[in-house]
Amino acid sequence: MSVLPSGDTGSEVLVPHWLASPERVQLAAAVRSALGDPAVHPVAHIHLQNVLTELHVAAARDAVWPASAARVRLATGWDADVLPVRLSAAELTAVLALCPLPDGLRARLSGGGA
Amino acid sequence: MTAFGRRGSAGLLQRLRPTPIDVADLLEVAEVVLPVLAGPQLRVELVRRSGAGSALLVEEDERSVRVGLGELADDMTGAGVAPTPEAMTAALRAWVASRPVTDAAATTDGIAVLDWADPARSAVGWRVVVRREELTPAWTPLPGTAPGRVEEIRSAASARAAEVQLALRVEGPVALWSHPSMPVLATTALAAPARLLARVADAGLPVDDLHVVVTPQRPVACAGRSVAARLAGETSEASVTLPWERLAGLPWL
């Protein structure tokens, strides 16, 4: 969670969004729905594919290194199924612009890393 | 985990303001517990030295460890072991279980696992460990051990590592290998690289440019290069990411 210098390519910085399991399922469904649209730009298509990948990678990260997320959950009181889903600025933009998100999830993601 | 086992700590208060373990109390417990811990090849005894206090001696084949009982009591106090007979008994058992591994034990039971090669945690290498209750102490060849013997023990340990049954979990493009009861054995997945590749393919993952993310004592993750980079790149935990081709050349530590 670093502060981006203005004008820099922030695309490599991945910001964590802490989402519970139902929210991750909603996000996956919304992304898949957007991917089904043939009008989606190829670059945006790649970003959306990466978001689907990240949903799996987030679970894998927690399986290999559970301690850091566990510490955050302990401090915040979040449920055990809450995981940090790490998205680049470009990936987040693609999600917000192209995917049919439920209002609550859209608000969570638009609020930035949390 | 201290040398006195996972239960060596009796709780926060005991750790912050430890009640010292009295040598005389430890001696009483040791006199009862040590005879039970000895075995056919394993000598576990109290050695009385006039004017110098008692010492705990553990001898097994070519290996030997001796510690003064006063020093052991201090170490236990520092590790937060409570001054109760139960806690001291458990701590003594764990201390004996963490004794050096003999060549014979390494030969018959050694398993090869990956461990950090340096304190900076920048590289990994193979080590022979044996399972002893909850612990997995590492085997170190004594200076002067014949190279052929060391090679023989290591080969047998690698073969045994290749036979360890691991649990596979597929998480999208990531294959995760773990051991259900002993996390340190997860890295045995890498002892047979060709078989690893076949199993990843069977799980439905693409195997071109397969990479492995290794953290000793944690599950092993296999994925393509960019997915592996995404997995390992954002964590503050130490890990090593290796292309599959590098697995066959990992050194022995």
**B117 and B55 in one domain?**
no
How far is A56 from chain B, CA to nearest CA, in Å? 5
**B199 and B144 in one domain?**
yes
**Residue B79 belongs to domain spanning:** 6-97
Residue A8 has pLDDT above 80, yes or no: no
> For position A3, what pLDDT does the model report?
47
Is B132 within the bounds of a domain?
yes
The distance of Cα A25 from the centroid of its chain, to the nearest Å, equals 11
Contact between B172 and A67 using a beta-carbon 8 Å cutoff: no
> For position A9, what pLDDT does the model report?
43
Contact between B173 and A61 using a beta-carbon 8 Å cutoff: no
**B127 and B85 in one domain?**
no
**B137 and B92 in one domain?**
no
Closest CA to B88 of B71, B108, B72: B72
Residues of chain A with Cβ-Cβ distance to B213 below 8 Å are 64
> For position A11, what pLDDT does the model report?
47
Is B200 within the bounds of a domain?
yes
For chain B of 253 residues, list the mean pLDDT of each consecutive stretch of 10.
60 73 92 91 88 89 93 92 92 92 96 96 96 91 95 96 95 96 95 93 92 96 95 88 95 95
> For position B4, what pLDDT does the model report?
76
> For position A112, what pLDDT does the model report?
54
Contact between B178 and A63 using a beta-carbon 8 Å cutoff: yes
> For position B72, what pLDDT does the model report?
94
Let me know: does B45 contact B34? Beta carbons within 8 Å: yes
**B122 and B86 in one domain?**
no
Which of B97, B128, B147 marks a domain boundary? B97
**How many domains are there within chain B?**
2
Let me know: does B200 contact B169? Beta carbons within 8 Å: no
**B165 and B66 in one domain?**
no
Is B116 within the bounds of a domain?
yes
Reported as a single tens digit per residue, the pLDDT across A27-59 is 999 999 999 998 999 999 999 999 999 999 999
Which of B43, B66, B97 marks a domain boundary? B97
How far is B116 from chain A, CA to nearest CA, in Å? 16
**B84 and B207 in one domain?**
no
Longest dimension (CA), chain B: 69
Assess A53–B contact: CB distance below 8 Å, yes or no: yes
Closest CA to B253 of B113, B149, B132, B120: B113
Assess A2–B contact: CB distance below 8 Å, yes or no: no
Is B102 within the bounds of a domain?
no
Which of B173, B213, B237 faces A53 most closely, judged by CB atoms? B173
How far is B66 from chain A, CA to nearest CA, in Å? 36
> For position A1, what pLDDT does the model report?
43
Spell out where B83-219 has E strands. 111-116, 124-129, 167-171, 174-178, 210-214
pTM score, two decimals?
0.84
**B86 and B120 in one domain?**
no
> For position A7, what pLDDT does the model report?
43
**B138 and B243 in one domain?**
yes
**B149 and B115 in one domain?**
yes
**B116 and B20 in one domain?**
no
> For position B234, what pLDDT does the model report?
75
**ipTM for the predicted complex:** 0.86
**B84 and B135 in one domain?**
no
Contact between A55 and B172 using a beta-carbon 8 Å cutoff: yes
> For position B3, what pLDDT does the model report?
72
Assess A73–B contact: CB distance below 8 Å, yes or no: no
